[in-house]
Amino acid sequence: MTQTLLHIDTSARHHGSVSRDLSARIVDRLSPDHLIHRDLSQALPQITEAWVGATFTPDDVRTDAQRETLALSDRLVDELAAADTIVIGTPMYNFGIPASLKAWVDLIARVGRTFEYTETGPRGLLTGKRAIIAIATGGAEIGSDADFASGYLRFVLGFMGVTDVQIVAADRLNADQDAALDSAAAQITALAA
């Protein structure tokens, strides 16, 4: 069975980035048949009033300008929909995710495309996918009260139907870098391919 993997890097750093290194190692471990790579270090645009208006306009009556407004968002959603596995490499910036990753979430969280509203509440449309999030932190511990990154990503992916979410953590790097990197390497080795 052919496996497609969407690899998302978010660190502003290209050299010496722990999250980029970890996510690349995860991709190598999983050895996908098809790889889509999206580097968010060159920030995505923020959503605008025109974008919101276009998303809430039914597709069959959207203007050409509205279609152009949604073109990048459509590409990002198509990448996500095509993937069997999503690997996100992210640092923790100021206890949360980078702004570029939040912009990606804003552009892909689309009613009718990645989730829908039902009589019983919202329902994710991206079911049957797996996500692995590699998070690097300087001082915060993943799962602690100071971690506003892993829980948010787990929740927002689950909201869109991706409920199989694993975290690979290299946390508290400033406290004991060797131990954090060894722990992350063991977590990657333990991942099912």
pLDDT at 2 over 80: no
Q: Which residues contact 155 (CB under 8 A, 6 or more apart)?
A: none
Q: How would DSSP label each residue in 120-179?
A: TEEEES-TT-EEEEEEE-SSPPTTSTT--SHHHHHHHHHHTT--EEEEEEE--TTT-HHH
**CB within 8 Å of 13: residues ≥ 6 apart:** 20, 91
Total domain count for the chain?
1
Q: How confident is the model at residue 1 (pLDDT cuts 50, 70, 90)?
A: low
pLDDT tens for residues 39-81?
999 889 999 999 999 999 999 999 999 999 999 999 999 999 9
Which CATH number characterizes residue 136's domain?
3.40.50.360
84-132 confidence digits (pLDDT tens) = 999 999 999 999 999 999 999 999 999 999 999 999 999 999 999 999 9
For residue 38, give the H/E element and its range: strand 34-39
What mean pLDDT is predicted for residues 10-38? Answer: 97
Binding residues: 11, 17-19, 92-95
> What is the structure's pLDDT at 42?
85
* pLDDT tier for residue 192 given thresholds of 50, 70 and 90: confident
Rounded to whole angstroms, the Cα distance separating 39 from 180 reads 24
- Sort strands 115-118 and 121-124 into parallel, antiparallel or unpaired: antiparallel
Q: Binding site for FMN: residue ranges?
A: 11, 17-19, 92-95
Mean pLDDT in the chain?
A: 96
Residue whose tokens read 């927002």: 156
pTM value? 0.96
Instruction: Note down the domain range covering 146.
Output: 4-190
User: Looking at residue 20, what is its pLDDT?
Assistant: 98
Looking at residue 193, what is its pLDDT? 72
